[in-house]
Amino acid sequence: MKKISTYYPHHSLKARLVVLTLLFLLLPTGILGYLGYDYLYDTIKASNIRAVGHIADARHEQLNIMLKNTNDRAEHFLQHLPQQCEKRDKAKVNDCFKQALQIFINNEQAISATLSDANGLNIHVGNTFVPDITPFQTGQLVGFSAPEKSVQRLYYIVKENEQGERLTVTFPISAIQQIFVSDPSLGESGDVFIMDSQGFFITYPHLLESQDHSNETLEQHAAHLSEAKNDHAMQHCLMMGNAEMLDIDRRGVEIIHSFRFVPEVGGGCIMAHLDQAEAFATLNALQWRVIWITIGLVIFALMIALMVGKNIVKPIDKLCAVTHQIINGNYAISAVVSGDSEIAALANAFNLMTERLKLAFDELNAHRTQLEHKVQKRTEQLLIAKNEAEQSLTLLQETQESLVQAEKMAALGGLVAGVAHEINTPIGITLTSASFLSEETSKVMSLYQQGELGGDELEAYFDNAKQSTELMTMNCHRAADLIQSFKQVAVDQTSDNQREFNLKSYLEEVLVSLRPALKNRDIRVELDCPDDLMILGFPGAISQIVTNFIMNSLTHGYDKNQQGIIKLHISDLPENKIEFRYSDDGKGIPSEIQSKIFDPFFTTQRGNGGSGLGLNLVYNIVHQTLKGLVQVHSVEGEGTTFTIHFPKES
């Protein structure tokens, strides 16, 4: 007997099992991991950006508290000053005022103070005087002296009482500088400082502290002022804006920039920034952790996949080895049967077949010389065994065919399940119309039984019945067309449902069927289509595209009480083509998700009933059924436009 070399055809099965196991393990893990990482990354990034803003807010609050307290004490001093000196002689009142002023500036650590009134009173204590005092704006608490060469800037407060007395107190800028010292919470690269309404530094950034600004000329300071005013963040702040942004500073370094408008100093700005490299260092470490965790998961999944593949394929290896030994004539061997799996059942069948074959061959060899009828009998036994083997093979083939058919049906079921919610629209409209007609019928019957049924009520009932039956008929046809359309997509049989129809008339019917969905919304639909445009195509596909677009706009494009206009513009193009343009003036689609809107199961309304299949079905219908192309253009806040090109004969 010719021996057959051992061949194991299951290696491709093992490879496929490993790949499938890896997919089942890594795909959901990868998706969940990516979503979690993306959320954590954005959360940490936003938190670090907000932290810089909190520093600017804290400095603003500290400055505001200090200035308000100083103003309150000055106001209290001015109100009680006349009472302190009213018992003095007129000749000594001014000396009393001057003495009180000296005590006040000593307590407040001020540089000088001036008390004046309309009668010519002008008492000044201290060595510094601010000659140019500009009127304060609304909400302004202090003013600043103009920058001069080699002269440290001062700030001053001005208070007046009901008697017309005016108190001007001058303070060193160091009192404000103490608030803007380096903050450990901003890190090594962080900085916070304040500028006046003209863009001059009140406190210098730490990056400039190494420079000697006390001897800086006005021309040099004007150069710094020009740089600051050309900074778009500074411009935004001086226009009373508060924000945080990612920016690039004068060093060319990427920073987190936060600014706060300060009306208390006459319109200045508090600026805080931190290098992005330092702020986002934790994100870089997180990225490396995610990479190592991903590598570990891949290795773990590969080991699991190899173990699963080995456990499944190993029994098949043994069964193949036994089978080839039986083929080579060793009928004494039998396959090891363990468990109750399908492979164990197959091994048991092989053992039974082996035993029968062995018995048949033994009997044939023992009685070879016996009579012909015994040989015939033994031959019949072999034929019976052969028929049983063929039946087993036929059963296996039928089982295989059933599995293939089940796989096809599962795929078709997935398609039907994916679009089932789209069929709910016409069915829901039909049910609503039927319920409405039933209620109206009950009302008319009640009026008739009471003898109160008049001509107006009967005529109104006939109108409602006519509209309701038309809606039910139209939407039942729509549902049937929709089901037939998806059937054609699934089995690729488009000829049965293809017909010639007037596109404008059909679109008008579709819009009529959608009136219940638009009834309670302040949305107007405009149709612009040539009256005589005839196409040979699939009306059910056109209906589903329009329905999905309009429902998508109502769900995602407009708020519940928002007004809007939806436009359908159809053009007859050369070369026997149609341009279908759908547009709305709603919220628009963010640019970062426009590339994903046609993906299956992608939706921004997952918690509000969105399935993420509407636009994916539109994409499949346009490409597969209409043999066309679909494009989207959207600007956030201005609306969305879908443009479809397809042939007249699809």
Encoded tokens for 16: 């496929």
Domain-by-domain residue ranges, the chain? 61-171, 177-282, 498-650
Model confidence band, residue 503 (pLDDT cutoffs 50, 70, 90): very high
What is the predicted pLDDT for the residue at 255? 83
What is the predicted pLDDT for the residue at 406? 43
Model confidence band, residue 567 (pLDDT cutoffs 50, 70, 90): very high
CATH architecture of the domain formed by 177-282 = 2-Layer Sandwich (3.30)
Model confidence band, residue 90 (pLDDT cutoffs 50, 70, 90): low
Mean pLDDT over each residue of the chain, to the nearest integer: 77
What is the predicted pLDDT for the residue at 568? 96
Asked if 202 and 194 count as a contact pair (C-beta separation under 8 A), the reply is: yes
In this predicted structure, the answer to whether residue 36 has a pLDDT above a threshold of 80 is no
Across the range 223-229, mean pLDDT stands at 47
In this predicted structure, the answer to whether residue 546 has a pLDDT above a threshold of 60 is yes
What is the predicted pLDDT for the residue at 1? 44
Across the range 542-554, mean pLDDT stands at 90
Model confidence band, residue 12 (pLDDT cutoffs 50, 70, 90): low
Percent above pLDDT 90 for the chain: 13
User: Picking from 201-210, 360-369, 470-479, 625-634, which range would have the lowest pLDDT averaged per residue?
Assistant: 201-210
User: Picking from 72-76, 161-165, 550-554, 610-614, which range would have the lowest pLDDT averaged per residue?
Assistant: 610-614
What is the predicted pLDDT for the residue at 525? 94
What is the tens place of the pLDDT at every residue in 263-274?
888 888 888 888
Higher pLDDT, 171 or 378: 171
Rg (CA), the chain: 44
What is the predicted pLDDT for the residue at 230? 46
Fold of 498-650: Heat Shock Protein 90 (3.30.565)
What is the predicted pLDDT for the residue at 182? 64
CA angle, 414 as apex, 410 and 419 as ends, to 5°? 150
In this predicted structure, the answer to whether residue 607 has a pLDDT above a threshold of 70 is no
- CATH no., domain 61-171: 3.30.450
First to last CA, the chain: 63
Within 13 Å of residue 377, how many CA atoms lie on the same side as its CB?
Answer: 8
Asked if 297 and 290 count as a contact pair (C-beta separation under 8 A), the reply is: no
What is the predicted pLDDT for the residue at 233? 67
Higher pLDDT, 7 or 129: 129
Across the range 489-496, mean pLDDT stands at 40
Within 13 Å of residue 547, how many CA atoms lie on the same side as its CB?
Answer: 31
Across the range 498-524, mean pLDDT stands at 86
What is the predicted pLDDT for the residue at 572? 92
Percent above pLDDT 70 for the chain: 78
Amino acid symbol at 618: V
In this predicted structure, the answer to whether residue 367 has a pLDDT above a threshold of 80 is no
Strand locations in 103-197, DSSP E?
A: 112-116, 122-126, 143-144, 154-160, 166-172, 191-195
Model confidence band, residue 488 (pLDDT cutoffs 50, 70, 90): very low
Model confidence band, residue 586 (pLDDT cutoffs 50, 70, 90): very high
Same topology between domain 61-171 and domain 498-650: no
What is the predicted pLDDT for the residue at 400? 39
In this predicted structure, the answer to whether residue 602 has a pLDDT above a threshold of 90 is no
What is the predicted pLDDT for the residue at 397? 53
Question: What's the full length of the chain, in residues?
Answer: 650
What is the predicted pLDDT for the residue at 558? 92
Higher pLDDT, 219 or 95: 95
Model confidence band, residue 549 (pLDDT cutoffs 50, 70, 90): very high
Model confidence band, residue 404 (pLDDT cutoffs 50, 70, 90): very low
Global pTM value: 0.42
Across the range 416-425, mean pLDDT stands at 56
Q: Distance between CA 485 and CA 239 in Å, rounded?
A: 58
In eight-state DSSP terms, residue 73 is: H
User: Picking from 207-221, 299-313, 567-581, which range would have the lowest pLDDT averaged per residue?
Assistant: 207-221
